[in-house]
Amino acid sequence: MKRLFILILLLVACGGTAAPAMQPGEGPGGASSLAFIREGDLTVLPLPMGQARRLTTGGGASQPRWSPSGAWLSYCGGGQAHIISADGGEARPVGACPASWAPRDDTLLSGGDDGTLRLTTAGTWQERTLPGQLPALWNADGSAIAFVYTPDAPGAAWPPAVSLRRVSRDGSDLRTLYSPPTDPPMGLVPAAWVGDHVLLWEQPAFAASILADGTALQVVPASGGPARVLSPAMLARPDFLAPAPDGRSLILVEGEGRDLWRNKRLSRIDLHSGQRTTLTKDGTVALWPAWSPDGVRIAYVAAPEPGPPASNASELLAQRRIWVMDADGSRPRFLSNNPAYRDERPRWTRDGRWLVFPRVDSQGRASLWASDGAGDEPRLLMSDLQQPTVTPLDSPADTAWDAVFDVR
């Protein structure tokens, strides 16, 4: 049986056809599936050991995203969002990237022409144009969208004013939720819509370097009102935010500085009271928090903090491991301690059955693995995940993993 298991894995990784039949509740439209980009093309794999199937050809695909039903996928190609059936077929181009699915139905939000937003419902292909700009955020039930309005200012050093706005899905009730001070000039970047709060990052003087080095995370009531600071300094990265399933709290990666191998910690913040709890200990660098769907466990990546004198960054990065803790921060434990790999960005499947994460070896070869999150030995899903942004095990450079894979 063990030899058969290994043989099937090798066949799947190489594109073979001897994979076992899809089990009930697995695969596209079912409970657990993986979508990933390999050699520039969108590929799907039922978890844990289905048959990998390439859906696109010609390369250039990125940012795969499952629709809520699992019947459709979106991806970005040439700056344009596309929708394709999880069973394969012809991809349908829609609006501009980045695109995002409504939380509860198979409607994709993308960019329209002339600073508008476009809604496309997969299957019926009904479309609607809304006022708004990318990037944009859905609320929890998909009834409204938030965005930052930045007016054109030809010849000016920066726009005269920006504002956080919301619009109902049917195009009605367009209103301003918050406008930052204009002296000094202040940009805004949408971060997340969690419960009845909209999160955004400050961008003083519209400087991209400030976002790269760390800026304040603010929260604004979804009904409108003044902003308050949730975190004084964090990197402006959506994958460093993990809203709790109940929408009442948020786990984030705090700490300024663009280096991901130092000064990064996990904190939990109650969005109503503002109460803050630090979840990771001194001496630990923690990244990429991910709640289990039942809200019981939190997965994340951790490695040692450099000490005085500063340790070699490559040695610290090579010690990145997947850890899991209870929701209150207790009982932190790592899933596997394999020195041959650097572990990265964990993602739970929507049923909570699998925790999927990339690994990078010393030769820069990336692979995807899965664990039950409870201590079983991780199993290989896909080897040789070829992506130009993947860096070797000991490199301090970052990898945009959300452009590479998605799970459902």
Report the C-alpha gap between 232 and 230 in whole angstroms: 7
Tokens (6 digits) for 241: 């935010």
**What pLDDT score does 396 carry?**
61
CA distance 199 to 217: 7
pLDDT tier for residue 386 given thresholds of 50, 70 and 90: low
Gap between the Cα atoms of 142 and 189, Å rounded: 20
pLDDT score recorded for residue 78: 93
58 pLDDT higher than 70? yes
Tens of pLDDT, residues 13-33: 333 322 233 333 344 445 699
What pLDDT score was predicted for residue 161? 85
Stretch 255-266: mean pLDDT, rounded? 92
Q: In terms of pLDDT, which residue wins out, 311 or 7?
A: 311
Is pLDDT at 8 greater than 50 in this prediction?
no
Beta bridge partners of residue 249, listed in sequence order: 270
**Per-residue model confidence (pLDDT) at position 293:** 96
Contact 396/337 with Cβ under 8 angstroms? no
Q: Where in the chain is the domain with CATH 2.130.10.10?
A: 237-408
Give me the pLDDT at residue 312, please.
Answer: 74
pLDDT at 157: 75
- Give the pLDDT confidence score for residue 19 in this predicted structure: 28
Instruction: Report how far residue 253's alpha carbon sits from residue 269's, in angstroms, rounded to the nearest whole number.
Output: 11
- Where in the chain is CATH 2.120.10.30? 135-236
- Average pLDDT for the chain: 88
Q: What percent of the chain has pLDDT over 90?
A: 70
CATH architecture of 237-408: 7 Propeller (2.130)
Q: How far apart are CA 212 and CA 258, in angstroms?
A: 6
Which two three-digit tokens encode residue 402?
């959300």
pLDDT class for 310, splitting at 50, 70, 90? low
Q: What is the pTM of this model?
A: 0.89
Angle at the Cα of 291 (from 289 to 296), degrees rounded to 5?
130
CATH superfamily of 135-236: TolB, C-terminal domain (2.120.10.30)
* Residue 247 in tokens: 């929408």
Give the model's confidence band at 352: pLDDT under 50 very low, under 70 low, under 90 confident, else very high: very high
Tell me: the pLDDT tens digits for 213-237? 999 999 999 999 999 999 999 999 9
The pLDDT tens digits of the residues spanning 166-223 come to 999 999 999 999 999 888 889 999 999 999 999 999 999 888 888 889 999 999 999 9
Check whether 378 has a pLDDT greater than 70.
yes
